[in-house]
Amino acid sequence: MADAQPVERYFSSGADRGSIIGNPLGEFLWGAGGMAHAWPANPGENQYTSVQNSSVPTLLIGGTLDFQTPAQNATKELLPHLSNGHQVILPGLGHVDDFDAYEPSASTQLLTTFYATGQVDTSRYTPNVVSFATPQSQAAIAKDILGFMIGFALLAVIWLVVLAIRIRRRGGTGRKTGAWIRSAGPIVFGLGGWFLGELLVLRFWPSRALPDQLLSVVSVAVPIWLGVYAGWVCTDTPKAMRAKGMIAAAVGAVVGAALGFHVTNGLIALITTIIGAAVVSNLSLLVLDIWIERAASRGTAPPAADLSETEHLEPALH
């Protein structure tokens, strides 16, 4: 391999030292420098480690925005060795794709004229004006996304805290309010919980993969479980049944979230996880409600509320 020595010098000097994004393509093509040792240069190839002089008519085409093979490299390192060489630097163009896509008729005239006459004709080209001004920087976009995630997570937490306070003071929610919470609330609870889980992982365990099943299922299932349960508990819900309702909602949310997570992949899996947790959790409580009604019809249901609960609720009713 004629490039063995330059490759070895490049990687021994630190390769992409000082680069932010690194040089993954170079690492891949040259095997992180190991290619120079696996395929060393033959002594007879030394003449090819430097540019050879040539009198063949040659046309070098580059762009002012070609950061992969900058035009100035050809100007300094290649053109001096071409006694019959010509160079065209097109303003506002990048690598090969730009040359093929931007004004193809001008490119065709440039090439055909040079091959036919050896003359360089760039008369059909018009300057390509490129603006590097962006309406919003990546840092600003990241801040907006972070703010949205934090805001949604806070909304879910605040809503759950308000529901907990309401249940503690009044003993539960109304039927209509509870139905609305159980149907629309899981969207806020699920997204807010997932955002909160992702933020905690990014802050304290950044090496953990974000699409982790345990993280997704738990962060979605727990707030939906609490929210659906809070919407299910009414002022007349028997005290003995509340513990059963909490267990039923928890099991349903976890099972539903796990099933929904495996339905599809990517971010769509987040939607199916939320839907699964909400549906199965509500179904579990619906089954429990049916069981309570049947038990009441047989006269085996626990009392609606004991005396202490009634006395506790009277001030709230006034």
Tens-digit pLDDT profile for residues 125-142: 888 888 887 777 888 888
Residues 215, 202: contact at Cβ < 8 Å?
no
Specify the pLDDT at position 171. Answer: 83
Please give the biggest Cα pair distance in the chain: 107
pLDDT in tens, 235-252: 777 777 888 889 999 999
49-58, 79-88, 132-141, 147-156: segment of lowest average pLDDT: 132-141
Residues near 164 by Cβ (< 8 Å), separated by ≥ 6? 230
Residues near 309 by Cβ (< 8 Å), separated by ≥ 6? 171, 239
Phi, then psi, of 38 in degrees rounded to 5? -75, -30
CA distance 313 to 307: 10
HSE-CB at 122 with a 13 A cutoff on CA atoms is 14
Q: Among residues 266, 21, 29, 276, which one has the least CA distance to residue 10?
A: 29
DSSP 3-state assignment of 308? helix
CA distance 225 to 317: 28
Specify the pLDDT at position 304. Answer: 47
HSE-CB at 239 with a 13 A cutoff on CA atoms is 9
DSSP H or E run through 63: strand 58-63
Q: Classify the C-alpha dihedral 41-46-48-49 as positive or negative.
A: positive
pLDDT in tens, 155-165: 999 999 999 99
Question: What does the domain layout of the chain look like in residue ranges?
Answer: 1-50, 54-133, 138-317
